[in-house]
Amino acid sequence: MEKKLRVGILGATGMVGQRFISLLENHPWFEVVTVAASPRSAGKTYEEAVGGRWKMQTPMPEGVKNLVVANVNEIEKVASGVDFVFSAVDMTKEEIRAIEDAYAKTETPVVSNNSAHRWTPDVPMVIPEINPEHFEVIEAQKKRLGTNRGFVAVKPNCSIQSYAPVLTAWKEFEPVEVVATTYQAISGAGKTFQDWPEMVENIIPFIGGEEEKSEQEPLRIWGKVVDGKIEKAEGPVITTQCIRVPVLNGHTAAVFVKFAKKPSKEQLIEKLVNFKGLPQELELPSAPKQFIQYMEEDNRPQVKLDVDFENGMGISVGRLREDTVYDYKFVGLSHNTVRGAAGGAVLCAETLVAKGYIKEK
Ligand SMILES: NC(=O)c1ccc[n+]([C@@H]2O[C@H](COP(=O)([O-])OP(=O)(O)OC[C@H]3O[C@@H](n4cnc5c(N)ncnc54)[C@H](OP(=O)(O)O)[C@@H]3O)[C@@H](O)[C@H]2O)c1
C-alpha cells in the first residue's frame, strides 16, 4: 500500500482501545491519527487521559502519547480527519448503535468490537477465515443508510473464538450437538487483577449475557446471505456455561460434540491443521500463518504457554478424544483481547481493504 489509511479509534483509552493502539503500532497499512473517548478524557493528551490505566504488557507507543483525545460525540470533527474508525466504546447498546450509524453516515466505515449491531440484519458479523462473503450485505446496508462508502461491520464475541473455528473446520462431518463450558479471562471484562482483586483465587459462575452470545453467534457466522440480509444457520444446537476464572488473558473452552457423520480422530486433526481461509490466501498483515494448531501433549493448550500462538491470532486445540456420551471432546484456547477483540477487528478491516470496501477518503 503506497499511503497508509488514516485510522481513528473510538474508545481508545479503554482496554480494547489500548489493544488497538498496541496492535496498530507499525501496522503496514493503517496509521492511528485520531484517538477518541468520553468527554472526561477529551482535550487531554492520550498519555494523560490513560494515566495509570495502561493495561498492556508492552509500553505505550510513542506515536500516540501526545495525540489530543477527541470527544467521541463530536462526530463530524473526528470523522473529517480519518479514512475509517475502529469502535470500542462502552456505552448503552442504543447509544452505540446510534453513534456507529452516525459515523457511517459521515461516509466513515466503522469496524466495531461492540455487540450492539451484531444482530442488525444487514450488518456483517465476520471471522475472516470463516465467513468473509457476509461482507456482501454492506451494499444493502449502504442503501438503507443512504451512504456511498460509510457502513458498519462487526466481529463476534470473544467467547466463541475457542470453538467456532474448530467446528467450522469439521463442517463436512456435520456437528449436530455441541456442549461447551468456557473459562473466561478477566481482561474480557476490561479488568486486571489490580482493579478486580476479588478475582484472585476465585471463580464466578456468571457473565451477564455471555451464554446467549456463545450459543447464538456461531449460528449467525454460519448463516447465509439472502436478499441483503444474513439468515442464521439452523444448527448445530449449542448449549454453554460461561465461567469467569482468575486468568488475565485467554479464554479456554471445554467442548463436547456429536456428529451426524462420525469421523476418526485422525480425520478431525487433519481438518484442523489444514484449515485456511481468505486471510491466509491473501497473506493479510495480521493473518496467522497457521490458524489452528493441534497439540498432542495431554497438558496442552495452557493459557500461560499457548495464548500468544501466532501473536494471539491463532487458536490452540488439544485433548481431542472419544467420549462416552457424545462422539468427541476437546479443549480450545484463544486470546480474548487479540483474536477475540481488537485483533479480530483489525483482520476484518484488512479483509475489507482487500475487498475494496475501505479506501482512502
Ligand atoms: N475487553 C474485552 O475483551 C472485550 C471483548 C469484546 C467486546 N468488548 C466490548 O468492547 C467495548 C469496550 O470494552 P473495554 O473492555 O475496552 O471497556 P473499557 O476499558 O471500560 O473502555 C471503555 C471506553 O469507552 C469510553 N467511554 C465510556 N463511556 C463513554 C461515554 N459515555 N461516551 C463516550 N465514550 C465512553 C471510555 O472512555 P474514558 O476513558 O474517557 O472513560 C473508554 O475509552 C465494550 O462494549 C465491551 O463490551 C470487550
CB 6 within 8 A of CB 26: no
Strand partners, 231: 224
Rounded to an integer, what distance in angstroms lies between the CA atom of residue 301 and that of residue 271?
Answer: 18
Atom 41 (ligand 1): residue with closest C-alpha?
A: 38
Least confident of 1-5, 212-216, 263-267: 1-5
Q: 239: pLDDT confidence band, cut at 50, 70 and 90? A: very high
40 Cβ inside 6 Å of ligand 1: yes
Distances (CA, A) of 179 to 67, 204, 240, 255, 279: 46, 19, 6, 6, 29
What digits encode the pLDDT tens for the residues 118-141?
Answer: 999 999 999 999 999 999 999 999
For residue 186, pLDDT over 90 is answered with: yes
Q: Are strands 251-259 and 175-184 parallel, antiparallel or unpaired?
A: antiparallel
168 Cβ inside 6 Å of ligand 1: no
For residue 204, pLDDT over 80 is answered with: yes
Rounded to an integer, what distance in angstroms lies between the CA atom of residue 76 and that of residue 361?
Answer: 14
Structural domains present in the chain: 5-157+342-354 (3.40.50.720), 160-335 (3.30.360.10)
18 Cβ inside 6 Å of ligand 1: no
Interval between CA 131 and ligand 1 midpoint (Å): 26
Rounded to an integer, what distance in angstroms lies between the CA atom of residue 152 and that of residue 109?
Answer: 6
Q: What is the pLDDT of residue 177?
A: 98
Interval between CA 143 and ligand 1 midpoint (Å): 29
Rounded to an integer, what distance in angstroms lies between the CA atom of residue 108 and that of residue 85?
Answer: 7
174 Cβ inside 6 Å of ligand 1: no
Atom 33 (ligand 1): residue with closest C-alpha?
A: 38
Interval between CA 268 and ligand 1 midpoint (Å): 38
Q: What is the mean pLDDT of the chain?
A: 97
Interval between CA 315 and ligand 1 midpoint (Å): 25
Closest atom of ligand 1 to 69 CA is 40
Out of 16, 41, 152, mutate this one to test ligand 1's pocket (max ligand atoms within 8 Å of CB): namely: 16
% of the chain exceeding 70 in pLDDT: 100
Phi, psi of 334 (to 5 degrees): -145, 160
Out of 69, 77, 89, mutate this one to test ligand 1's pocket (max ligand atoms within 8 Å of CB): namely: 89
Interval between CA 11 and ligand 1 midpoint (Å): 6
For residue 67, pLDDT over 90 is answered with: yes
Catalytic residues: 158, 251
Closest atom of ligand 1 to 96 CA is 45
Q: What is the pLDDT of residue 248?
A: 96
Atom 30 (ligand 1): residue with closest C-alpha?
A: 38
Average pLDDT over residues 184-195: 94
Q: What is the pLDDT of residue 299?
A: 98
Place of cell 471484562: 189
156 Cβ inside 6 Å of ligand 1: no
From edge to edge, which strands make up the β-sheet containing 152-154?
70-71, 30-37, 5-10, 84-87, 110-112, 152-154
Q: 259: pLDDT confidence band, cut at 50, 70 and 90? A: very high
For residue 317, pLDDT over 90 is answered with: yes
For residue 1, pLDDT over 80 is answered with: no
128 Cβ inside 6 Å of ligand 1: no
138 Cβ inside 6 Å of ligand 1: no
Q: What is the pLDDT of residue 330?
A: 98
Average pLDDT over residues 7-14: 97
Q: What is the pLDDT of residue 2?
A: 75
What digits encode the pLDDT tens for the residues 190-203?
Answer: 999 999 999 999 99
Interval between CA 294 and ligand 1 midpoint (Å): 33
* Distance from the first to the final alpha carbon of the chain: 15
Average pLDDT over residues 38-59: 95
